[in-house]
Amino acid sequence: MTSQASNDYLALEIENLCFSYAGQAVLRDYNLSLAKGEILALLGESGCGKTTVLRIAAGLLAPDSGRVLLNGKDITHALPERRNIGLVFQDFALFPHMTVEQNIRYGLHRMPRGKRRGRIAEIMELTRTEGLAKRYPGQLSGGQQQRVALARALAPSPGLILLDEPFSNLDTAVRGKLRAELRAVLKQTLTSAIIVTHDRADADAAADRVSEMSGCAQCGADDVCPNR
Protein backbone atom coordinates (compact mmCIF):
# COMPACT_ATOMS: atom_id res chain seq x y z
CA MET A 1 0.00 0.00 0.00
CA THR A 2 1.34 3.42 -0.96
CA SER A 3 1.85 6.06 1.69
CA GLN A 4 -0.99 8.21 0.31
CA ALA A 5 -3.36 5.23 0.12
CA SER A 6 -2.42 4.35 3.68
CA ASN A 7 -3.24 7.90 4.83
CA ASP A 8 -6.63 7.74 3.12
CA TYR A 9 -7.63 4.29 4.41
CA LEU A 10 -5.92 3.62 7.74
CA ALA A 11 -6.56 5.31 11.07
CA LEU A 12 -3.78 3.47 12.91
CA GLU A 13 -0.69 1.56 11.88
CA ILE A 14 1.68 -0.22 14.25
CA GLU A 15 4.86 -1.42 12.58
CA ASN A 16 7.39 -3.95 13.92
CA LEU A 17 6.70 -3.03 17.53
CA CYS A 18 9.01 -4.43 20.21
CA PHE A 19 8.62 -3.97 23.96
CA SER A 20 10.30 -5.65 26.90
CA TYR A 21 9.64 -5.45 30.63
CA ALA A 22 12.27 -6.47 33.20
CA GLY A 23 14.23 -8.22 30.46
CA GLN A 24 11.20 -10.23 29.29
CA ALA A 25 9.93 -9.73 25.74
CA VAL A 26 6.25 -8.78 25.79
CA LEU A 27 5.91 -7.81 22.12
CA ARG A 28 8.28 -8.69 19.30
CA ASP A 29 7.83 -7.40 15.73
CA TYR A 30 4.16 -6.78 16.38
CA ASN A 31 2.09 -5.33 13.51
CA LEU A 32 -1.45 -3.97 13.47
CA SER A 33 -3.58 -1.89 11.14
CA LEU A 34 -6.96 -0.30 11.73
CA ALA A 35 -9.13 1.17 9.00
CA LYS A 36 -10.86 4.50 9.48
CA GLY A 37 -14.23 3.98 11.13
CA GLU A 38 -13.41 0.39 12.04
CA ILE A 39 -13.83 -1.27 15.47
CA LEU A 40 -11.18 -3.87 16.23
CA ALA A 41 -11.15 -6.15 19.27
CA LEU A 42 -7.86 -7.41 20.68
CA LEU A 43 -8.85 -10.68 22.35
CA GLY A 44 -6.65 -12.65 24.73
CA GLU A 45 -5.94 -13.79 28.24
CA SER A 46 -4.26 -11.61 30.84
CA GLY A 47 -0.55 -11.13 30.19
CA CYS A 48 -0.59 -11.66 26.41
CA GLY A 49 0.37 -8.03 25.70
CA LYS A 50 -2.93 -6.57 24.51
CA THR A 51 -3.08 -3.78 27.11
CA THR A 52 0.59 -3.04 26.39
CA VAL A 53 -0.36 -2.40 22.75
CA LEU A 54 -3.03 0.06 23.90
CA ARG A 55 -0.67 1.87 26.26
CA ILE A 56 2.00 2.23 23.58
CA ALA A 57 -0.57 3.54 21.08
CA ALA A 58 -1.75 6.05 23.69
CA GLY A 59 1.79 7.17 24.53
CA LEU A 60 1.69 5.86 28.11
CA LEU A 61 4.54 3.45 27.36
CA ALA A 62 7.52 3.91 25.01
CA PRO A 63 8.38 0.97 22.72
CA ASP A 64 11.89 -0.43 22.45
CA SER A 65 11.58 -0.14 18.68
CA GLY A 66 8.95 0.12 15.96
CA ARG A 67 6.55 2.85 14.86
CA VAL A 68 3.03 4.04 15.65
CA LEU A 69 1.24 6.08 12.98
CA LEU A 70 -2.11 7.85 13.37
CA ASN A 71 -3.73 8.90 10.09
CA GLY A 72 -0.34 8.48 8.43
CA LYS A 73 1.54 10.67 10.93
CA ASP A 74 4.33 9.15 13.02
CA ILE A 75 3.34 9.67 16.68
CA THR A 76 5.75 7.13 18.19
CA HIS A 77 7.44 9.75 20.37
CA ALA A 78 4.59 12.26 20.69
CA LEU A 79 3.30 13.16 24.14
CA PRO A 80 -0.02 11.48 25.06
CA GLU A 81 -1.92 14.79 25.12
CA ARG A 82 -0.78 15.58 21.57
CA ARG A 83 -1.95 12.33 19.98
CA ASN A 84 -5.67 13.10 19.56
CA ILE A 85 -6.54 9.71 21.05
CA GLY A 86 -9.37 9.07 23.50
CA LEU A 87 -9.05 6.54 26.32
CA VAL A 88 -11.60 4.58 28.33
CA PHE A 89 -9.92 2.73 31.19
CA GLN A 90 -11.08 -0.52 32.76
CA ASP A 91 -12.14 1.27 35.96
CA PHE A 92 -13.45 4.25 33.90
CA ALA A 93 -11.09 6.66 35.81
CA LEU A 94 -13.70 9.36 36.33
CA PHE A 95 -12.73 12.24 38.60
CA PRO A 96 -14.72 11.58 41.81
CA HIS A 97 -14.79 15.26 42.88
CA MET A 98 -16.28 16.39 39.57
CA THR A 99 -19.85 16.10 38.35
CA VAL A 100 -20.64 14.20 35.18
CA GLU A 101 -20.80 17.44 33.21
CA GLN A 102 -17.46 18.58 34.64
CA ASN A 103 -15.86 15.24 33.80
CA ILE A 104 -16.97 15.58 30.18
CA ARG A 105 -15.90 19.23 30.01
CA TYR A 106 -12.41 18.29 31.23
CA GLY A 107 -11.44 16.97 27.80
CA LEU A 108 -12.48 20.17 26.04
CA HIS A 109 -9.89 22.58 27.45
CA ARG A 110 -8.54 23.25 23.95
CA MET A 111 -11.96 24.04 22.51
CA PRO A 112 -13.06 27.70 22.47
CA ARG A 113 -15.17 28.40 25.55
CA GLY A 114 -18.13 29.51 23.48
CA LYS A 115 -18.40 26.10 21.82
CA ARG A 116 -17.99 23.89 24.89
CA ARG A 117 -21.57 24.02 26.19
CA GLY A 118 -23.00 22.99 22.82
CA ARG A 119 -20.52 20.16 22.43
CA ILE A 120 -21.24 18.87 25.94
CA ALA A 121 -24.99 18.88 25.26
CA GLU A 122 -24.46 17.08 21.95
CA ILE A 123 -22.24 14.34 23.38
CA MET A 124 -24.45 13.83 26.45
CA GLU A 125 -27.48 13.34 24.22
CA LEU A 126 -25.54 10.88 22.06
CA THR A 127 -24.43 8.80 25.06
CA ARG A 128 -27.74 9.14 26.93
CA THR A 129 -26.18 10.87 29.93
CA GLU A 130 -28.24 14.10 29.88
CA GLY A 131 -30.07 13.28 33.10
CA LEU A 132 -26.82 12.65 34.97
CA ALA A 133 -25.19 16.05 34.45
CA LYS A 134 -25.13 17.16 38.10
CA ARG A 135 -24.39 13.77 39.65
CA TYR A 136 -20.99 12.60 40.89
CA PRO A 137 -19.37 9.30 39.80
CA GLY A 138 -20.03 7.74 43.21
CA GLN A 139 -23.75 8.20 42.60
CA LEU A 140 -23.72 6.28 39.31
CA SER A 141 -24.16 2.62 38.42
CA GLY A 142 -21.41 0.80 36.52
CA GLY A 143 -23.27 1.18 33.25
CA GLN A 144 -23.78 4.90 33.80
CA GLN A 145 -20.09 5.34 34.61
CA GLN A 146 -19.21 3.59 31.37
CA ARG A 147 -21.43 5.95 29.37
CA VAL A 148 -19.84 8.97 31.05
CA ALA A 149 -16.32 7.68 30.43
CA LEU A 150 -17.21 7.16 26.77
CA ALA A 151 -18.73 10.64 26.57
CA ARG A 152 -15.59 12.21 28.03
CA ALA A 153 -13.37 10.31 25.59
CA LEU A 154 -15.51 11.24 22.57
CA ALA A 155 -16.08 14.89 23.46
CA PRO A 156 -12.89 16.25 21.78
CA SER A 157 -13.66 14.25 18.57
CA PRO A 158 -10.51 12.08 18.74
CA GLY A 159 -9.01 10.41 15.70
CA LEU A 160 -9.02 7.12 17.59
CA ILE A 161 -10.50 5.77 20.81
CA LEU A 162 -8.94 2.99 22.89
CA LEU A 163 -11.01 0.99 25.38
CA ASP A 164 -9.38 -1.32 27.94
CA GLU A 165 -11.77 -4.07 29.13
CA PRO A 166 -14.75 -1.66 29.04
CA PHE A 167 -17.29 -4.32 30.04
CA SER A 168 -15.40 -6.31 32.68
CA ASN A 169 -16.77 -4.35 35.66
CA LEU A 170 -20.39 -4.54 34.51
CA ASP A 171 -23.13 -6.90 35.65
CA THR A 172 -24.13 -9.58 33.18
CA ALA A 173 -27.66 -8.18 33.12
CA VAL A 174 -26.58 -4.88 31.52
CA ARG A 175 -23.52 -6.07 29.62
CA GLY A 176 -25.27 -7.03 26.39
CA LYS A 177 -27.21 -3.78 26.20
CA LEU A 178 -24.11 -1.65 26.75
CA ARG A 179 -22.07 -3.56 24.17
CA ALA A 180 -24.76 -2.72 21.60
CA GLU A 181 -24.90 0.91 22.76
CA LEU A 182 -21.13 1.32 22.54
CA ARG A 183 -21.02 -0.08 19.03
CA ALA A 184 -23.92 2.13 17.92
CA VAL A 185 -22.26 5.30 19.27
CA LEU A 186 -18.91 4.49 17.67
CA LYS A 187 -20.56 3.80 14.32
CA GLN A 188 -22.76 6.90 14.49
CA THR A 189 -19.71 9.11 15.13
CA LEU A 190 -17.53 7.23 12.58
CA THR A 191 -14.95 6.75 15.33
CA SER A 192 -12.11 4.27 14.83
CA ALA A 193 -11.67 2.13 17.93
CA ILE A 194 -9.70 -0.67 19.52
CA ILE A 195 -11.33 -2.65 22.31
CA VAL A 196 -9.16 -4.83 24.53
CA THR A 197 -11.03 -7.76 26.07
CA HIS A 198 -10.55 -11.28 27.41
CA ASP A 199 -14.19 -12.14 26.66
CA ARG A 200 -15.09 -13.62 23.28
CA ALA A 201 -18.73 -12.56 23.57
CA ASP A 202 -17.70 -8.94 24.16
CA ALA A 203 -15.43 -9.02 21.12
CA ASP A 204 -18.02 -10.61 18.83
CA ALA A 205 -20.80 -8.23 19.90
CA ALA A 206 -18.90 -4.95 19.71
CA ALA A 207 -16.25 -5.29 16.99
CA ASP A 208 -16.05 -5.46 13.21
CA ARG A 209 -12.94 -7.65 13.42
CA VAL A 210 -11.33 -9.73 16.15
CA SER A 211 -7.59 -10.26 16.57
CA GLU A 212 -6.69 -13.09 18.91
CA MET A 213 -3.48 -12.54 20.85
CA SER A 214 -1.72 -15.41 22.59
CA GLY A 215 0.97 -15.29 25.26
CA CYS A 216 3.62 -15.35 22.53
CA ALA A 217 5.66 -12.16 22.25
CA GLN A 218 5.79 -12.66 18.48
CA CYS A 219 2.05 -12.66 17.98
CA GLY A 220 0.69 -10.00 15.65
CA ALA A 221 -2.69 -8.64 14.67
CA ASP A 222 -2.41 -9.80 11.11
CA ASP A 223 -4.19 -13.00 12.29
CA VAL A 224 -7.49 -11.16 12.15
CA CYS A 225 -10.89 -12.70 11.42
CA PRO A 226 -13.72 -10.59 10.01
CA ASN A 227 -16.50 -10.40 12.57
CA ARG A 228 -19.30 -9.07 10.37
Whether the CB-CB separation of 211 and 224 falls below 8 Å is answered with yes
Contacts of 131 (CB under 8 A, 6+ apart): none
pTM above 0.75, yes or no: yes
User: Measuring CA to CA, how many Å separate 130 from each of 100, 151, 158?
Assistant: 9, 11, 21
Domain spans, the chain: 3-84+158-226, 94-157
Question: Each residue's pLDDT tens digit in the chain (228 positions)?
Answer: 444 445 578 999 999 999 998 888 899 999 999 999 999 999 988 778 899 999 999 999 999 999 999 999 999 999 998 999 999 988 889 999 999 999 999 989 888 888 999 999 999 999 999 999 999 999 999 889 999 999 999 999 999 999 999 988 788 878 888 899 999 999 999 999 999 999 999 999 999 999 998 764 444 444 455 555
- d(C-alpha 193, C-alpha 213), whole Å: 17
**Under DSSP, is residue 45 helix (H, G, I), strand (E, B) or coil?**
coil
- How many residues in the chain? 228
In a 10 Å sphere around its CB, with 0-12 CB exposed, 13-18 middle and 19+ buried, how is residue 97 labelled? exposed
Q: What number does CATH give the domain 3-84+158-226?
A: 3.40.50.300
CA distance 193 to 53: 13
